[in-house]
Amino acid sequence: MVLGPATSGTVGRVLSLAWVIELDPGPLSDAVAELRDRLASAGLADAGEVGSAADVSAADVVLVWADRPLPADLAGTLAAPGVRTVLAGPSLAAQAGGPLAMAAGVRPDTATPVHDVRIRLAGSGAAGVPGAPHQHGDHAHRDAHEHVTDRVVQVTAVEPDVEVLRTANVGLAVHPLMTWRPASGTATWTIGGTPGAVRDRAFQRALLQLVRVVGGVPVADPVRVGLLGYGAIGHEHSRAVRAVDGLSLVAVCDTSQERLDLASQAAPGIATTTSAEELLERADVDLVVVSTPPSTHADWAMRAIAAGKHLVVEKPFAIRTEEADAVLAAARAADRLAVVYQNRRFDPDHLALRRAVRSGGLGQVFLLEAFVGGYGHPCNLWHSDEGVSGGAFYDWGSHVIDQILDLVDAPVEHVTASAHKLRWFDVTNADHSRVGIRFADGTEAQFIHSDLAAALKPRWYVLGTGGAVVGQWRTERVVSRNDIGTLVEDVLAPADSPPRMELHAGDGSITHLATPAAEPYAFHRELADHLRWGMPMTVTGEQSRRVLAVMEAARESAADAGRPVVPR
């Protein structure tokens, strides 16, 4: 397997990409400009905009985004033999009847209104040719597909030598969305006529793959994954790796044979071992997921990087910032990826709150409060052992402080904290802890985690100059029957259910905020996209290092009567 640098994601040789953009200034042209930067960061060298035939010959691939016919000489040059061209967004429809549409071998017709388009690989769920009947069997809507909101250009004819790569249904017919005609070197990707579609991650992923196909770069093999530790989170990683296209579960290591047996039951055929050294030495493992106790994260991370592996570490990154710094430095030197599994960055309530904050609907946000907890004995696992976990600030704090830092775009000025040990003396973590964060722009944030909270504070309480958001906990029950038919109720902890998010306006009105569902296995999907296609990840190792610095400062502040501490 050949994986390119984690920093650029290039696979094989670097392609040069020239652009033809014929769009009026506005939202769509702005989105295409952003995409241009995104593709350059993904390892496609920007060869500039095409102004002459010489510009065309200097690039591996020319990407056209045009909502009007191109000048005849330019269209003729792009349609000439030996020139590899991708017609994206409205380009195919705009060139109908011209040499580029002829070279593509696809005859466009009218476009649908903007709607939720289900994009499928050709042959998935239907026949992938114009006019093919839509499948109505049990799996018609459950086969693999991705959603992008845009128009569908309906197609009346496709030449026999055109390869249809992706399709969508319009009514009872299937229409090609992505095509490639090797004989002429011309491809089409007719999604991308609206700004939202151009900014959609699934759209960008598909475009990257198409440009590499057109440029003659082989498709990257799946990233082969080894799991180091198969505790409570192990099955989640196993399921995600097996579900995400581009990842392949190869091996699992754990000290417990019972847990290894469970791993093999979930993923038959994988290699299992009780030796971490054996896992790290495997030539067929490209990436290692470290799910050992936090006090060992840094050591195993360094050993994985030294073995040439890309790296995912469970939260927290490490116990001390100097450990995280050493891991990141080693990863940069080895050109390997090092990132922390900050999966709660994709929680529905956080996505809803982030959208409300970044849209400007709250005005200037100046106060964020977050709470997790309840009243009850904490778990008796290593999570509650301060020497292993780092303490109460490091468990839920790794998630919630990461969310807070994602919401506030300003440096941290200082951190204050307190911790109380009042009841649960058989574990070493604090029973109740508070972290206060003061940002350089004056914004204040507070996170409380408590096992002594008989009354719950809201999950979120966020104030802005134009409104507020409150996240209210839900108490959910799983109701079933036992063997003799008697009612059984399992009352979930508040943190096991996403809170209800409410937007409060200054006039007293309250609006329920929709909580957008993240793409399934969003973190792992981004992991595969980054290592195979060079797409940037939402979560970075440097961000998780910043989270660790805040938690470390909180620990120091709490030990010194709440003295303000500047994170390292």
Which tens digits make up the pLDDT trace of 419-442?
999 999 998 899 999 999 999 999
pLDDT value of position 172? 86
How many Å apart are CA 353 and CA 357, to the nearest integer? Answer: 6
Average pLDDT of every residue of the chain: 91
How many Å apart are CA 245 and CA 475, to the nearest integer? Answer: 35
pLDDT value of position 143? 60
On the CB side of 526, CA atoms within 13 Å amount to: 20
Of 501, 400, 389, nearest in space to 448 by CA: 400
Is the pLDDT reported for residue 266 higher than 50?
Answer: yes
Is the pLDDT reported for residue 141 higher than 70?
Answer: no
pLDDT value of position 564? 98
Residues 66 and 119 in one domain: yes
Which CATH number is 517's domain given? 3.30.360.10
The last residue of a domain, from among 301, 321, 341? 341
Residues 67 and 210 in one domain: yes
Query: For 452, phi and psi rounded to 5 degrees?
Result: -125, 25
pLDDT value of position 152? 96
Segments forming the whole domain that contains residue 187: 16-214
Q: CB–CB of 446/368 below 8 Å? A: yes
pLDDT value of position 5? 36
The last residue of a domain, from among 157, 181, 214? 214
Which CATH number is 269's domain given? 3.40.50.720
Q: What is the pLDDT of residues 119-134, one digit of tens each?
A: 998 864 433 444 443 3
The last residue of a domain, from among 341, 358, 390? 341
Q: How far is CA 6 from the centre of its chain?
A: 15
pLDDT value of position 492? 80
Residues 294 and 261 in one domain: yes
Q: Residue 252: beta bridge partners?
A: 227, 272
Residues 256 and 128 in one domain: no
pLDDT value of position 13? 64
Q: What does the pLDDT average to over 100-129?
A: 83
Q: What does the pLDDT average to over 497-512?
A: 93
Residues 202 and 178 in one domain: yes
What proportion of the chain, given as a percentage, has pLDDT over 90? 78
Residues 188 and 78 in one domain: yes
Q: Tokens 């592996």 belong to which residue?
A: 309
Is the pLDDT reported for residue 37 higher than 60?
Answer: yes
Q: What does the pLDDT average to over 84-106?
A: 96
Q: What is the pLDDT of residues 343-373, one digit of tens each?
A: 999 999 999 999 999 999 899 999 999 999 9
Residues 380 and 523 in one domain: yes
Is the pLDDT reported for residue 71 higher than 50?
Answer: yes
